[in-house]
Amino acid sequence: MEPGNDTQIPEFLLGFSQEPGLQPCLFGLFLSMYLVTVPGNLLIILATISDSHLHTPMYFSLSNLSFADICVTSTSIPKMLINIRTQNKVITYTACLMRMYFFMLFAEFENFLLAVTAYDRFVAICHPLHYMVIMNPRLCGLLVLASWTMSALYSLLQILMVLRLSFCTALEVPHFFCELNQVIQLACSDSFLNHTVIYFTVALRGGAPLTGILYSYSKIISSIRAISSAQGKYKAFSTCASHLSVVSLFYGAILGVYISSAATHNSHSSATASVMYTVVTPMLNPFIYSLRNKDIKRALGRHLLRGTMKGQFFKKCP
Protein backbone atom coordinates (compact mmCIF):
# COMPACT_ATOMS: atom_id res chain seq x y z
CA MET A 1 0.00 0.00 0.00
CA GLU A 2 1.38 3.41 -0.98
CA PRO A 3 1.09 5.83 1.95
CA GLY A 4 0.86 8.76 -0.41
CA ASN A 5 -1.78 7.22 -2.70
CA ASP A 6 -4.08 5.44 -0.24
CA THR A 7 -6.59 6.95 2.14
CA GLN A 8 -5.61 4.45 4.84
CA ILE A 9 -2.37 5.74 6.36
CA PRO A 10 -0.39 2.97 8.08
CA GLU A 11 0.07 2.98 11.83
CA PHE A 12 2.73 1.25 13.89
CA LEU A 13 2.63 -0.35 17.31
CA LEU A 14 5.74 0.18 19.40
CA GLY A 15 6.55 -2.86 21.53
CA PHE A 16 9.32 -3.42 24.08
CA SER A 17 8.00 -5.85 26.67
CA GLN A 18 4.59 -7.49 26.64
CA GLU A 19 4.73 -8.53 30.30
CA PRO A 20 2.12 -6.46 32.22
CA GLY A 21 3.96 -6.94 35.49
CA LEU A 22 7.14 -5.39 34.06
CA GLN A 23 5.48 -2.19 32.86
CA PRO A 24 5.68 -0.27 36.19
CA CYS A 25 9.30 -1.34 36.65
CA LEU A 26 10.20 -0.27 33.10
CA PHE A 27 8.43 3.05 33.58
CA GLY A 28 10.29 3.80 36.81
CA LEU A 29 13.64 2.66 35.40
CA PHE A 30 13.51 4.67 32.18
CA LEU A 31 11.99 7.72 33.88
CA SER A 32 14.79 7.79 36.45
CA MET A 33 17.47 7.40 33.76
CA TYR A 34 15.87 10.18 31.69
CA LEU A 35 15.71 12.47 34.73
CA VAL A 36 19.42 11.87 35.30
CA THR A 37 20.42 12.25 31.64
CA VAL A 38 18.78 15.59 30.89
CA PRO A 39 19.84 17.58 34.00
CA GLY A 40 23.33 16.04 33.91
CA ASN A 41 23.96 17.10 30.33
CA LEU A 42 22.30 20.48 30.91
CA LEU A 43 24.74 21.12 33.76
CA ILE A 44 27.66 20.42 31.41
CA ILE A 45 26.25 22.90 28.87
CA LEU A 46 25.56 25.48 31.58
CA ALA A 47 29.07 25.13 33.00
CA THR A 48 30.75 25.60 29.62
CA ILE A 49 28.60 28.64 28.80
CA SER A 50 28.81 30.41 32.16
CA ASP A 51 32.53 29.90 32.87
CA SER A 52 34.89 31.92 30.65
CA HIS A 53 37.73 29.50 31.44
CA LEU A 54 35.84 26.82 29.54
CA HIS A 55 35.43 28.84 26.34
CA THR A 56 37.88 26.58 24.51
CA PRO A 57 37.53 24.25 21.49
CA MET A 58 37.43 21.12 23.67
CA TYR A 59 34.56 22.36 25.84
CA PHE A 60 32.76 23.76 22.82
CA SER A 61 32.70 20.22 21.42
CA LEU A 62 31.73 18.84 24.82
CA SER A 63 28.71 21.15 25.12
CA ASN A 64 27.57 20.11 21.63
CA LEU A 65 28.00 16.46 22.62
CA SER A 66 25.84 17.01 25.72
CA PHE A 67 23.20 18.71 23.58
CA ALA A 68 23.20 15.71 21.19
CA ASP A 69 22.83 13.32 24.16
CA ILE A 70 19.77 15.20 25.42
CA CYS A 71 18.18 15.17 21.97
CA VAL A 72 18.90 11.48 21.32
CA THR A 73 17.14 10.38 24.50
CA SER A 74 14.33 12.93 24.05
CA THR A 75 13.36 11.50 20.65
CA SER A 76 12.74 8.03 22.09
CA ILE A 77 12.27 7.84 25.86
CA PRO A 78 9.35 10.30 26.46
CA LYS A 79 7.22 8.53 23.86
CA MET A 80 7.97 5.16 25.42
CA LEU A 81 7.05 6.48 28.89
CA ILE A 82 3.75 7.82 27.53
CA ASN A 83 3.06 4.46 25.86
CA ILE A 84 3.65 2.59 29.11
CA ARG A 85 1.59 5.03 31.15
CA THR A 86 -1.40 5.15 28.79
CA GLN A 87 -1.09 1.55 27.55
CA ASN A 88 -1.45 2.95 24.03
CA LYS A 89 1.43 1.91 21.77
CA VAL A 90 0.09 3.34 18.52
CA ILE A 91 2.24 5.82 16.61
CA THR A 92 1.21 7.33 13.29
CA TYR A 93 3.18 6.88 10.11
CA THR A 94 4.15 10.57 9.99
CA ALA A 95 5.16 10.71 13.65
CA CYS A 96 7.23 7.55 13.21
CA LEU A 97 9.12 9.07 10.27
CA MET A 98 9.70 12.33 12.13
CA ARG A 99 11.07 10.60 15.21
CA MET A 100 13.21 8.36 13.02
CA TYR A 101 14.65 11.38 11.23
CA PHE A 102 15.52 13.33 14.37
CA PHE A 103 16.92 10.27 16.16
CA MET A 104 19.27 9.54 13.25
CA LEU A 105 20.15 13.24 12.96
CA PHE A 106 21.31 13.58 16.58
CA ALA A 107 22.91 10.12 16.78
CA GLU A 108 24.93 10.78 13.62
CA PHE A 109 25.88 14.24 14.85
CA GLU A 110 27.28 12.64 18.00
CA ASN A 111 29.14 10.13 15.85
CA PHE A 112 30.86 12.85 13.80
CA LEU A 113 31.41 15.03 16.86
CA LEU A 114 33.42 12.28 18.56
CA ALA A 115 35.77 12.34 15.57
CA VAL A 116 36.03 16.15 15.79
CA THR A 117 36.88 15.89 19.50
CA ALA A 118 39.51 13.24 18.74
CA TYR A 119 41.12 15.64 16.26
CA ASP A 120 41.04 18.36 18.92
CA ARG A 121 42.91 16.06 21.35
CA PHE A 122 45.39 15.14 18.60
CA VAL A 123 46.24 18.81 17.99
CA ALA A 124 46.41 19.57 21.73
CA ILE A 125 48.89 16.75 22.45
CA CYS A 126 50.87 16.50 19.22
CA HIS A 127 50.99 20.24 18.37
CA PRO A 128 50.49 22.05 21.70
CA LEU A 129 52.31 25.25 20.66
CA HIS A 130 50.05 25.70 17.63
CA TYR A 131 46.84 24.52 19.30
CA MET A 132 45.05 27.87 19.53
CA VAL A 133 46.14 28.79 16.00
CA ILE A 134 44.93 25.53 14.44
CA MET A 135 41.78 25.08 16.55
CA ASN A 136 40.57 28.62 16.05
CA PRO A 137 36.87 29.52 16.49
CA ARG A 138 36.31 29.56 12.74
CA LEU A 139 37.60 26.00 12.26
CA CYS A 140 35.63 24.75 15.28
CA GLY A 141 32.46 26.29 13.90
CA LEU A 142 33.08 24.80 10.45
CA LEU A 143 33.72 21.32 11.90
CA VAL A 144 30.50 21.41 13.92
CA LEU A 145 28.56 22.81 10.94
CA ALA A 146 29.97 20.06 8.71
CA SER A 147 28.90 17.47 11.29
CA TRP A 148 25.36 18.86 11.35
CA THR A 149 25.21 19.00 7.55
CA MET A 150 26.40 15.43 7.00
CA SER A 151 24.05 14.15 9.72
CA ALA A 152 21.08 15.98 8.21
CA LEU A 153 21.84 14.71 4.70
CA TYR A 154 22.23 11.12 5.92
CA SER A 155 18.96 11.26 7.87
CA LEU A 156 17.11 12.85 4.96
CA LEU A 157 18.41 10.18 2.57
CA GLN A 158 17.20 7.36 4.81
CA ILE A 159 13.76 8.95 5.26
CA LEU A 160 13.38 9.43 1.51
CA MET A 161 14.29 5.78 1.00
CA VAL A 162 11.63 4.74 3.55
CA LEU A 163 9.01 6.89 1.78
CA ARG A 164 9.34 4.78 -1.36
CA LEU A 165 8.22 1.67 0.57
CA SER A 166 4.68 0.40 1.02
CA PHE A 167 3.35 -0.68 4.43
CA CYS A 168 0.29 -2.46 5.68
CA THR A 169 -2.15 -0.57 7.88
CA ALA A 170 -1.27 -2.22 11.22
CA LEU A 171 2.24 -3.34 12.04
CA GLU A 172 4.19 -3.88 15.25
CA VAL A 173 7.72 -2.52 15.56
CA PRO A 174 9.43 -4.78 18.15
CA HIS A 175 11.35 -1.82 19.51
CA PHE A 176 10.77 1.06 21.92
CA PHE A 177 11.22 3.63 19.12
CA CYS A 178 10.98 3.70 15.33
CA GLU A 179 14.32 2.10 14.54
CA LEU A 180 15.25 2.23 10.85
CA ASN A 181 16.07 -1.45 10.28
CA GLN A 182 13.02 -2.67 12.17
CA VAL A 183 10.67 -0.41 10.19
CA ILE A 184 12.17 -1.41 6.84
CA GLN A 185 11.75 -5.10 7.67
CA LEU A 186 7.99 -4.51 8.03
CA ALA A 187 7.59 -3.14 4.50
CA CYS A 188 5.22 -4.96 2.15
CA SER A 189 7.27 -3.94 -0.90
CA ASP A 190 10.83 -4.87 -1.89
CA SER A 191 13.37 -3.27 0.46
CA PHE A 192 16.58 -4.53 -1.19
CA LEU A 193 17.60 -1.04 -2.29
CA ASN A 194 17.00 0.31 1.22
CA HIS A 195 19.26 -2.32 2.77
CA THR A 196 21.91 -1.65 0.13
CA VAL A 197 21.86 2.06 0.92
CA ILE A 198 22.04 1.35 4.66
CA TYR A 199 25.08 -0.91 4.29
CA PHE A 200 26.82 1.56 1.99
CA THR A 201 26.17 4.55 4.24
CA VAL A 202 27.14 2.61 7.38
CA ALA A 203 30.55 1.96 5.82
CA LEU A 204 30.95 5.68 5.11
CA ARG A 205 29.40 7.29 8.20
CA GLY A 206 30.82 4.69 10.58
CA GLY A 207 34.12 4.00 8.87
CA ALA A 208 35.20 7.60 8.24
CA PRO A 209 34.76 8.96 11.82
CA LEU A 210 36.14 5.77 13.40
CA THR A 211 39.15 5.85 11.08
CA GLY A 212 39.76 9.47 12.04
CA ILE A 213 39.52 8.60 15.74
CA LEU A 214 41.90 5.64 15.42
CA TYR A 215 44.38 7.71 13.39
CA SER A 216 44.27 10.55 15.93
CA TYR A 217 44.87 8.21 18.84
CA SER A 218 47.68 6.38 17.06
CA LYS A 219 49.47 9.73 16.74
CA ILE A 220 48.58 10.63 20.33
CA ILE A 221 50.03 7.35 21.64
CA SER A 222 53.23 7.90 19.63
CA SER A 223 53.58 11.39 21.08
CA ILE A 224 52.92 10.19 24.63
CA ARG A 225 55.51 7.42 24.29
CA ALA A 226 58.09 10.02 23.25
CA ILE A 227 57.61 11.94 26.52
CA SER A 228 60.47 11.12 28.90
CA SER A 229 58.87 11.72 32.32
CA ALA A 230 56.14 9.49 33.76
CA GLN A 231 54.33 12.55 35.10
CA GLY A 232 54.31 14.12 31.63
CA LYS A 233 52.91 10.93 30.12
CA TYR A 234 50.16 10.77 32.75
CA LYS A 235 49.24 14.43 32.25
CA ALA A 236 49.08 14.03 28.47
CA PHE A 237 46.99 10.87 28.67
CA SER A 238 44.61 12.34 31.27
CA THR A 239 43.60 15.08 28.81
CA CYS A 240 42.03 12.51 26.49
CA ALA A 241 41.01 9.77 28.96
CA SER A 242 37.42 11.05 29.27
CA HIS A 243 36.97 11.27 25.51
CA LEU A 244 38.45 7.81 25.04
CA SER A 245 36.02 6.43 27.62
CA VAL A 246 33.04 8.00 25.83
CA VAL A 247 34.25 6.73 22.44
CA SER A 248 34.66 3.20 23.82
CA LEU A 249 31.21 3.33 25.40
CA PHE A 250 29.52 4.74 22.28
CA TYR A 251 31.04 2.41 19.69
CA GLY A 252 31.04 -0.55 22.07
CA ALA A 253 27.28 -0.13 22.61
CA ILE A 254 26.58 0.15 18.87
CA LEU A 255 28.76 -2.87 18.14
CA GLY A 256 26.91 -4.79 20.84
CA VAL A 257 23.59 -3.98 19.14
CA TYR A 258 24.76 -5.30 15.77
CA ILE A 259 26.36 -8.41 17.28
CA SER A 260 23.22 -9.13 19.33
CA SER A 261 20.99 -8.66 16.29
CA ALA A 262 23.17 -10.82 14.04
CA ALA A 263 23.73 -13.59 16.60
CA THR A 264 20.19 -14.01 17.93
CA HIS A 265 18.05 -12.73 15.02
CA ASN A 266 15.75 -11.60 17.82
CA SER A 267 14.24 -8.13 17.49
CA HIS A 268 13.52 -7.81 21.21
CA SER A 269 17.14 -8.67 22.01
CA SER A 270 18.22 -5.94 19.62
CA ALA A 271 15.86 -3.48 21.33
CA THR A 272 17.30 -4.36 24.73
CA ALA A 273 20.85 -3.87 23.43
CA SER A 274 19.83 -0.53 21.88
CA VAL A 275 19.08 0.78 25.36
CA MET A 276 22.85 1.00 25.87
CA TYR A 277 23.55 3.67 23.28
CA THR A 278 20.17 5.44 23.39
CA VAL A 279 19.81 5.73 27.18
CA VAL A 280 22.77 4.42 29.18
CA THR A 281 25.57 6.09 27.21
CA PRO A 282 24.00 9.61 27.25
CA MET A 283 23.33 9.15 30.98
CA LEU A 284 26.93 8.19 31.78
CA ASN A 285 28.66 10.82 29.62
CA PRO A 286 28.18 13.71 32.10
CA PHE A 287 29.58 11.56 34.92
CA ILE A 288 32.59 10.54 32.84
CA TYR A 289 33.45 14.13 31.94
CA SER A 290 32.65 15.73 35.29
CA LEU A 291 34.30 13.11 37.50
CA ARG A 292 37.54 13.04 35.50
CA ASN A 293 37.69 16.73 34.65
CA LYS A 294 38.83 19.25 37.27
CA ASP A 295 37.83 22.25 35.13
CA ILE A 296 34.23 21.04 34.85
CA LYS A 297 34.05 20.30 38.58
CA ARG A 298 35.43 23.75 39.43
CA ALA A 299 32.98 25.43 37.02
CA LEU A 300 30.02 23.53 38.46
CA GLY A 301 31.18 24.31 41.99
CA ARG A 302 31.43 28.03 41.22
CA HIS A 303 28.01 28.00 39.56
CA LEU A 304 26.38 26.19 42.48
CA LEU A 305 28.09 28.57 44.91
CA ARG A 306 26.76 31.60 43.04
CA GLY A 307 23.28 30.06 43.04
CA THR A 308 23.48 29.43 46.80
CA MET A 309 24.66 32.98 47.51
CA LYS A 310 21.87 34.45 45.36
CA GLY A 311 19.31 32.33 47.18
CA GLN A 312 20.58 33.51 50.57
CA PHE A 313 20.55 37.13 49.36
CA PHE A 314 16.92 36.98 48.25
CA LYS A 315 15.92 35.31 51.51
CA LYS A 316 17.42 38.20 53.48
CA CYS A 317 15.62 40.79 51.34
CA PRO A 318 12.20 41.73 52.78
pLDDT, one tens digit per residue, over 263-274 is 555 556 566 667
Tell me: the pLDDT tens digits for 160-198? 999 998 887 667 777 778 888 888 888 888 888 998 888
Contact by Cβ (8 Å): 133, 95: no
Our measurement of the distance from residue 155's CA atom to the centroid of its chain's CA atoms, rounded to an integer in Å, reads: 14
Domains and CATH numbers, the chain: 11-292 (1.20.1070.10)
Rg (CA), the chain: 22
Closest by CA to 271, choosing from 206, 182, 194, 162, is 182
The pLDDT tens digits along the chain (318 residues) read 344 444 455 666 666 666 667 778 888 989 999 999 999 899 889 888 887 778 888 889 889 999 999 999 999 899 888 888 888 788 888 888 999 999 999 999 999 999 999 999 999 999 888 998 999 999 999 999 999 999 999 999 999 999 998 887 667 777 778 888 888 888 888 888 998 888 888 778 778 888 999 999 999 989 888 888 888 788 777 778 888 888 888 888 777 666 665 555 555 656 666 777 788 888 988 888 776 667 776 776 676 666 554 555 445 555
Name the residue among 309, 313, 279 with its Cα closest to residue 77.
279
| Contact by Cβ (8 Å): 63, 117 | no
Whether the Cβ atoms of residue 141 and residue 60 lie closer than 8 Å to each other: no
Global confidence as pTM: 0.85
CA distances from 295 to 36, 47, 63, 64 (A): 21, 9, 14, 17
The Cα–Cα gap between 110 and 107 comes to 5
